[in-house]
Amino acid sequence: MNIKQYLDSTYLKTAAQAGLTEKENNLIVEGFIQEAINEGFKLIMIRPNHVKTARQLISNAGSKLLIGTVISFPEGTNSLEEKLTEAKKAIDDGVDELDFVCNYKAFKKGESDLVKEEILKGTQLAFDHHKAAKWIIEVAALTDDQIIQLSALIKNVVMANFKEDCYANVYVKSSTGFYVTENNKPNGATKHTVIIMLENASPLPVKAAGGVRTYEEAEEMIRLGVKRIGTSAAKTIANGEIASGGY
């Protein structure tokens, strides 16, 4: 198993969140991009304002590394128009994959039609430009029943509106890694939540994001059926070491 081809190396902190200047944070982002190129990871996941830099570095290196970015991150409450505008800008800047934060708060309030429309329009925009779409459902903010329902909603919208050969390019993704939980509960993927997602999102693929910190945990997720893993410790995991914390 080439575990590196399952790993989306991730750095999503703003300068303020990292306690750094913009210049210092930009250097960290560039370091993550270069490391992902050198290590042969599947994808580098960064904020939209870094996509142009990533495209230039990857092009200069002649690398096949994919670029992913997050849309309406981390709350997911932006309007559909705002989400599509942000996604289109990332596409113009050279992104390969769009990780939309689903409006899970609207879903929890029963506003299913709003969520269905953003899934449809966001996925359509991605496909119109030959990009993959991932929908982050924020499992730590949901009950098991809500994870079942939201995973199934995404699946049903995709299956009703797109051809079967498109399914592999629409992921249901567990977490942003930025959700604040009570009592130090996990805010990312767990075996329990991933199994629920796999059972209810299929035939769409699942991305386990956050909470995977060892090679063994990554391997277990892949055995369960996960197709991608988002982590800020991709090199540590690939080397068989234990990540100390973070996403």
Provide φ and ψ at 182, rounded to 5°: -90, 150
Q: For residue 30, what pLDDT band results from cuts at 50, 70 and 90? A: very high
Q: Which residue has tokens 């060892």?
A: 214
Q: For residue 97, what pLDDT band results from cuts at 50, 70 and 90? A: very high
pLDDT in tens, 148-195: 999 999 999 999 999 999 999 999 999 999 999 988 888 999 999 999
Provide φ and ψ at 69, rounded to 5°: -140, 165
CATH architecture of 3-238: Alpha-Beta Barrel (3.20)
Instruction: Please determine, for residue 41, whether its predicted confidence score (pLDDT) is greater than 70.
Output: yes
pLDDT value of residue 246: 62
Q: For residue 243, what pLDDT band results from cuts at 50, 70 and 90? A: confident
Active site residue ranges: 99, 173, 207
Structure tokens at 170: 């629409």
pLDDT value of residue 178: 93
Domain ranges of the chain: 3-238
pLDDT in tens, 42-91: 999 999 999 999 999 999 999 999 999 999 999 999 999 999 999 999 99
User: Any idea which of 59-63, 96-100, 109-113, 183-187 has the lowest mean pLDDT?
Assistant: 183-187
Provide φ and ψ at 68, rounded to 5°: -120, 150
Q: Are 40 and 23 in contact (CB under 8 A)?
A: no
pLDDT value of residue 245: 64
